[in-house]
Amino acid sequence: MLQTLLPILIFAALAVGAAGAVRRIRLWRQGQRTPMRWYRLVLMPKRYLNDLHHVVARDKAIAHTHVATAGGFVAAMALALVVHGFGWRNPILGGLLLAASLCMFIGALAVNRRRIDPSAKLSKGPWQRLSKSLLAYSVGMFLVSLPLVGVAPTLLGGGVLAIVLSAVLVWGLLEMVVGMGWGGPMKHAFAGSFHLAFHRRPERFDDNHADAVHDVHRGSRSTALFPLDLTAKTLGVEKPADFQWEQLLGFDACVQCGRCQNVCPAYAAGQPLNPKKLIQDMVVGMAGGNDARYAGSGYPGIEVGKHHGGPNAPIVPQLVEAQTLWACTTCRACVEECPMMIEHVDAIVDMRRFITLEKGETPEKGAAAIDNLIATDNPGGLDNASRLDWAADLEMPRIQDRPEGVDVLLWLGDGAFDMRNQRTLRALVKILRAGGVDFAVLGDEERDSGDVARRLGDEATFQRLAERNIATLSRYRFARIVTADPHSFHVLGREYGAFGGDYRVLHHSTFIAELFDGGRISVEAPAQAETVTYHDPCYLGRYNGEFAAPRQVLAALGLEVAEMERSGYRSRCCGGGGGAALSDVPGKARIPDMRMEDVRETGATTVAVACPQCTAMLEGVVEPRPRILDIAEMVAAALVEPATASTTRTSTEAPEEVPA
């Protein structure tokens, strides 16, 4: 009986699954169309085996589980199609099918063990069921295939047992094949492979990247936001159908593993953001319906099940509250961790763009910052001519006086208006002078890089600032730009390219490391041993892959770095990125306080930072707390003046600031 039933079952499941898949593809193609390049599907296996598993393998246990389960399933399915579907009942193939089912069964057991007491990051509901379905499929396929190798052929010939067995197999096929097309948990395999093939950022899979740093850290291969066409009919994303179709496809690939939820600083702080739920909400919006069937952790403080959406219904506030979008610090921790390589930050900024550009509902302080950027070129609304006031005694060389060009253009950033950051800048100038660097500044011709405006969704203001800065920079000659602000570093180096500004930009930590390497500056050993730790800024580390240089500098200072549990590409955000400090979404804790807890756990008395925003956020933590020093300040303090002291100025000594 099973001999006749099996092909019917398999082909029926495949047919129904395929119908669902077509429907699913239609759902994705509701998004903004780009031409469908089917040939890209051939890229999928390499991307899956290489790039995706690179991320998955960060958790060895789940990686092995997935290899066993997924590999076993794919093999078992293919063999079952040949053996049972087309009836080529070869004992060798049968043996292989049995082995594949067994392999899948072992994997499924591991999955089930993980699901006995699932951690908070995992979604339940259908995903709990999937673990059982995996068992059903593998067991069913195993038993059904036993007769092929001549074991227990009579036992399964007919009767009640056969009916039970076919029921188990039907369950497995329904989940694994039909569910894949119709939106069950197995959808991730189908959508995921398409997503890998049609990913919006192919650079992420490009192993022949020009930049060595970005090859070491794959997450930073493509981190620039996509420019927005300001002449488009609607600006930004109002409804799910406004996303690019590849983005919708990406949302659909989510496996709800909750890694993003685990690393999201806003979620940890109790702000109403959960990247996993956000992606699931996008899926709800794409397919239509409400979020009542979502079986994972929701947004802190927002009840699950009260929101609904449709492909052409506005996202905010029916589907997602604006607060959720404004809580994001754009730290990219979720993108870094996502095994399906989903781009959460792109989606959030796309939706912010609509809120800011079309609805004019940027949170109050963010709106004020944007207005200031429009009127004064800096977010504080200060006179741009006062950008160099802090350096009145430093006799800063101006690039305007150097028509022949300089080696280094020192980009000050908006930290030049902040008293705390001026200390860092002074220290940096002292280092540059000690190293005999040929540098100059733009002075009042420098404008905000546009980072804040862009992350707040005001692409119009960003593009205006970018164009003006590029026009300014094109008038002067310099070999490279050095900046102490990772945000400017990222925007100048990686986002201006789309507007015709290609520069060689270095973060000051990289540049100082270079000075050490070249033996151009020397420092004295620290008077007493001190434990320091280093906080990786998101825009330096995750965005641009620079983890080594700051640590090199600290090592050159003779300091022992006690790493925080979350450091390097897993560094936790300070809470100041992406305009989050301006939108100031209330939560249960403050992100910088949590980060300071991480620092305290290392027992460090000083935390080295490399970003003005991180400095400001961490210094906002109520004392007593470890000291916060920029890398430049630490180097400047330990600097040994070279023997030719006549060329250095004593006036570059940073004077004592009045303590805040």
Partner 1 sequence: MPQPEPRDTAKMPQRVKTAALVSSGRHPVSGRAGRAREDARAVEMGLSLVGADLSLAHAGDPEQASLRESLQGYLGMYHGLDDDRDGQLSLLPLGEGGDAVPLLAAWLERSGVRLALTGQRAECGEGSGMVGYLLAERLGWAIATGVAAIEHCDGERVTVLQALPQGQRRRLEVRLPCLIAVDAVAEAPRQSAFGPARRGRIDIVDDLLPPDESPLDADSADWHWQPARARPKRLKVVKSTNARDRFKAAAAKSSASGGQVLTDLSPEEAAEKLIDYLRAEKILAQDDQ
Partner 2 sequence: MSVRRIDPHAERARRNRLHPRHHEFARPAWRWTSADGVTRVNPHALGAIGPNGVKRIDRSGASVEANPAAASTSAEPARRQIVLDQPLGHVVVVPELPEGRLNDHDRDLFGLARQLADGHDLAVTAVTFLGGVAGFEEAGADRVVDLSARAGSGYDPVSRLAALVDVEAGLAPRHWIFADSLPDGGDLGRRLAARLSNQGVNHSAGGARPATRVWQLSEGKTLSRAGDRQDILRDVARVLLALPECAEPVSETLHEARPIDLEALAETPRQAEVTTAAAGMVDRGRVAVDPQEIPLAQAPFILSAGRGVSDWEGYHHAARVLGASEGASRVAVDDGYMPRPRQVGATGTFVTASCYVAVGISGAVQHLQGIAKCQRVIAINNDPSCDMVKRADLALIADGDAVLAAVCRRLGQPREQTGSDGSWTDEESRHAAA
Report the interface residues with partner 2, using CB under 8 A.
419, 584, 586, 590, 620, 622, 658, 660
User: Minimum distance between the CB of residue 270 and partner 1, rounded to whole angstroms?
Assistant: 18
User: Minimum distance between the CB of residue 376 and partner 2, rounded to whole angstroms?
Assistant: 14
Binding mask 132-161 for partner 1 (x = CB under 8 A): ------------------------------
- Taking a C-beta distance cutoff of 8 angstroms, is the pair 567, 541 a contact? no
Enter the tokens of residue 659: 């303590």
SS3 640: strand
The correct pick among 207, 211, 364, 438 for binding partner 1 (CB under 8 A) is: 364
Task: Using the minimum distance from each CB to partner 1, give the nearer residue, 359 or 649.
Answer: 359
> Using omega within 30 degrees of 0 as the cis cutoff, is the peptide bond preceding 147 cis?
no
The correct pick among 59, 361, 514, 641 for binding partner 1 (CB under 8 A) is: 361
Q: How far apart are CA 392 and CA 254, in angstroms?
A: 54
Contacted by 660, from partner 1, partner 2, none: CB < 5 to 8 Å by type: partner 2
**Of 658, 559, 538, which is closest to residue 608 (Cα–Cα)?**
559
Q: How far apart are CA 19 and CA 13, in angstroms?
A: 10
The correct pick among 34, 234, 312, 400 for binding partner 1 (CB under 8 A) is: 234
Strands (E), 179-278: none
Cα-atom radius of gyration of the chain, to the nearest Å?
A: 28
Binding mask 193-232 for partner 1 (x = CB under 8 A): -------------------------------------x--
> Using omega within 30 degrees of 0 as the cis cutoff, is the peptide bond preceding 624 cis?
yes
Q: Measured in whole angstroms, how far is the alpha carbon of residue 62 from the centre of its chain?
A: 20
Which residues fall within 8 angstroms of residue 609, CB to CB, at 6 or more apart?
Answer: 534, 535, 537, 615, 618, 628, 629, 630, 631
Q: Which of residues 448-467 bind partner 1 (CB under 8 A)?
A: 458, 460-461
User: Minimum distance between the CB of residue 364 and partner 2, rounded to whole angstroms?
Assistant: 9
**Residue 322 contacts partner 1 per CB under 8 A:** yes
SS3 77: helix
Task: Using the minimum distance from each CB to partner 1, give the nearer residue, 74 or 230.
Answer: 230
The correct pick among 29, 53, 308, 359 for binding partner 1 (CB under 8 A) is: 359
User: Minimum distance between the CB of residue 229 and partner 1, rounded to whole angstroms?
Assistant: 12
**DSSP assignment, residue 657?**
P
Contacted by 269, from partner 1, partner 2, none: CB < 5 to 8 Å by type: none
Q: How far apart are CA 413 and CA 496, in angstroms?
A: 15
Contacted by 376, from partner 2, partner 1, none: CB < 5 to 8 Å by type: partner 1
**Residue 381 contacts partner 1 per CB under 8 A:** yes
Enter the tokens of residue 25: 């593809």
Encode burial over 82-101: b for 16+ CB neighbours within 10 A, e otherwise: ebbbeeeeeeebbebbbbbb
Q: Which stretch binds partner 1 (CB under 8 A): 14-22, 115-123, 366-374, 638-646?
A: 366-374
- Measured from the Cβ of residue 169, the count of other Cβ atoms closer than 10 Å reads 25
Q: Which stretch binds partner 1 (CB under 8 A): 130-138, 197-205, 321-329, 554-562?
A: 321-329
Interacting residue ranges for partner 1, rule: CB under 8 A: 230, 234-235, 322-323, 326, 356-364, 367, 370-371, 374-377, 381-384, 458, 460-461, 583
